Structure 1
Amino acid sequence: MESTIISVLEQDLPDTANLETATFGMGCFWSPDAQFGSLPGVIRTRTGYAGGTSDNPTYRKMGDHTETIQVEFDPGQICFEEIVKEFWRSHYPNRDAYKGRQYISLLFWQSEEQKHIIEKLKAEKEQQLNEPVETEIRPFDGFTEAEERHQKYYLKRYPKALEQLAELYPELGLLTPSTFAARLNGFVKGFGSRQQLIEEINGWPINKEHRDALRQVLLKLKW
């Protein structure tokens, strides 16, 4: 059984060479981490700090950075345009002076294609709101991963579940890059259902033994 569990961890993500990245801030990063981690096609999520000039930002010394999340996604399942639409659907995109830049609406582009998509959708959002969108839009210039306690935050609030997941994730740091953990973090926050996740796992490009192992873990989890 131990070798199966290790194999599941190694194979529950597709080939990283085909993934694309989106980085953005939309308030406190815990909820977006859960929300976007629940989306089929999103492979990894991580929380962090971006958009500022200070070196080595941390949660307690963020400087002029913003709480952000970074998602890696399979463009064959979900495209960048869908990610940006979800971003603007999910929060009021105008500035909030509370705590300076920590919680501003912030969206990075990493290619001219991404920039074009953002500009197109921004114009549509402004027409919908009938007011300018104040989201700060800029080229990507770096991302600092947040401390471990801020990764998969909602899942970590369930110690009983973490005990049961210990075979899959003997170290908490293994939760951050895991697709399965991203889905569980979304599930406990109220995004999606257990049945939806089971159906998604049935289509994951891993062998049947590994799919069976993940389904069994999911069905047996006690919160």
Structure 2
Amino acid sequence: MNTRGLLDQLLKSGQELLQKQGGSLTGKPGIGGLSGSTGANNGLGGLLSGAGGGALAGGAMALLLGNKTARKLGGKALTYGGLAALGVLAYKAYGNWQAQQGGVQQGEPQTLDRLPPAQVEQHSQAILKALVAAAKADGHVDARETALIEGEFQKLDNDPDLQRWLHAELNKPLDPADVARAAGTPEMASEMYLASILMVDEEHFMERAYLDELAKQLRLDPALKAELERQVRQA
């Protein structure tokens, strides 16, 4: 599965989505995307009808975000630009946390911005799993929206193995313990938590509770959890 390519498209599309939605991403999900657009070439409608992978990925990301506000989009790492940027954030947070611990130096964090391709693919699948789960944390992804999201993913990548995997993830009950089992290394756990922070609204009770339980299941040190959240706020 080329999860890496799909995830990179999704993360990078956040920049275009933010630019083109023009502050109108406040309506409820509609057919093929979100309502509230103000014309064919303005708002999310223009993005969803546009050509190219960026536009398609923007549609998939918009559906995952659901009824989030423009403020939410503007304040999070959807503006950072892809996997490499996510890896840099994780590297900074993990490195700062290591320095705070004192004692024996544990070596350079092996985050996805500095790994060989095979390992980046493994990290990417874990991060996409975390993103999909976090999108369900506010309860907005129902059967109809699942079908719409799957349709957008099919436009992005027609790999049948990847489609089956995504279908299974979208249809699973929300389970932080299941998500956490995908973390093969502490750095991967950090990246998954970072991706989850980007997707949820921390002021929403259900989503904040999900984040806290995910951190517990990922066995994140409280100081590392705080540092990851601080990196997102500062970026």
TM-score between the two structures when normalised by the length of structure 2: 0.28
Select the structure with the greater relative contact order (CA < 8 A; seq sep ≥ 6).
Answer: 1
Q: Which has the higher strand share?
A: 1
* TM score, norm. by length of structure 1: 0.29
**More helix by percentage:** 2
